[in-house]
Amino acid sequence: MSEQEKNTEQGVHKRRTRYKGKYPRKFEEKYKELNPEKYGDTIQKVISKGSTPAGMHISICVKEILEFFDIQPGQKGLDATLGYGGHTRKMLEKLQGKGHIYALDVDPIESVKTEKRLHDAGFGEDILTIKHINFANIDQVAEEVGPFDFILADLGVSSMQIDNPERGFSYKYDGPLDLRLNPEAGISAAERLRTVARDELEGMLIENADEPYAKEISQVVTRALRKGKKIDTTFALRDLIAEALDFLPKDEKKEAIKKSCARTFQALRIAVNHELDALEEGLDTIFAHLAPGGRLCVITFHSLEDRLVKNKFRRWSTACTCPPEFPVCVCGGKAKAKLITRKPIEANTQELEENRRSRSAHLRVLEKI
């Protein structure tokens, strides 16, 4: 919790953070964006430029998801990744006060804010239940209240997590190198790096991010650690990545460093949060608790996630599992689902203009038989 939030909770008045120049640049200085209820005009100006206001998250493919789900009053749904609550709110509106949505989120900081925001909007416990758990543990909810008529999983990190320097998700802002979705559990990225071997880090960068300069980056990072350098901040890691890519031609270097920073932070985040393991396990559990005729929508943001989701969907929608060289089917298998989208849905032109962060989103949909 930030100092401003602590003071608000304690009823202490504190002057807003002052800044140089005409416009605020740092996250904590953007007091208007951090108070959307009070400064709606500012929020709309930021969004109209294709940016996301500080502390907010603009949900992706909302129109398409609502069309695929075709939610009816009285149904029961699950938002496996609550985040800022944008998708959840639109799905709640479709219920028209009848039915229930269960929402899960592992982030104890943002989920509390989202819960208050949704309750203030009129969605109380009679129609919305929020659980602070990872969607891989959906059994804890579904065994009591399932199966569900529709389930949404919007993977990745939300904008309000990325933009907050205290969370350490972005190389663009100086802050602690944390990268945990739940900062109260597990170890931070900084702690993870302290014990990592060079070949292990190289493998992590290749496997989790397809990093082309994995060897060079892992060599520089582990050499710095052996010399006693602390890599406790986002900028400390960013500077080492820049050092590792110093051999590149001058006209290529700046862009290459930016892309390698993004990939390296992604690889570390996936490792620290065990995201691929949670996704592998979570998808199986989610599908098991989807009602016959129910639909599952999954939004991914990088190729590893999308490939995993695509393969799961294909397996569930395939009847015969016999080897391809068999002339006839002998397994007697039956498809468990049908694909609603053969290829992933991407953000349309208008959405790309209004929300630049939607450019890497891929939406896949299936229906359980």
Q: What is the pLDDT of residue 57?
A: 58
**Whole-structure pTM value:** 0.83
Q: What is the pLDDT of residue 35?
A: 58
| Residue limits of CATH 3.40.50.150 in the chain | 62-154+277-368
Q: What is the pLDDT of residue 323?
A: 82
Q: What is the pLDDT of residue 276?
A: 92
d(CA 3, CA 143): 40
Q: What is the pLDDT of residue 146?
A: 78
CB-CB contact of 267 with 120 (8 Å): no
| Residue limits of CATH 1.10.150.170 in the chain | 162-273
Residues 62-154+277-368, CATH architecture? 3-Layer(aba) Sandwich (3.40)
d(CA 144, CA 164): 36
Question: 3-state SS string over 147-184?
Answer: CEEEEEEECCCCHHHHCCHHHCCCCCCCCECCCCCCCC
CB-CB contact of 27 with 165 (8 Å): yes
**Average confidence (pLDDT) per 10 residues, the chain, 369 residues:** 51 54 52 53 56 64 96 97 93 97 93 92 95 89 91 88 89 94 94 96 96 98 96 97 96 96 96 93 94 97 93 92 80 90 92 85 97
CA quadruple 120, 122, 126, 130: dihedral sign:
negative
Domain 162-273 belongs to what topology?
DNA polymerase; domain 1 (1.10.150)
Q: What is the pLDDT of residue 33?
A: 45
Residues 6+ apart with CB under 8 A from 23: none
Closest CA to 127 of 147, 110, 102, 109: 102
Residue with tokens 């602590």: 6
DSSP designation for 342: S
Residue with tokens 């100092």: 3
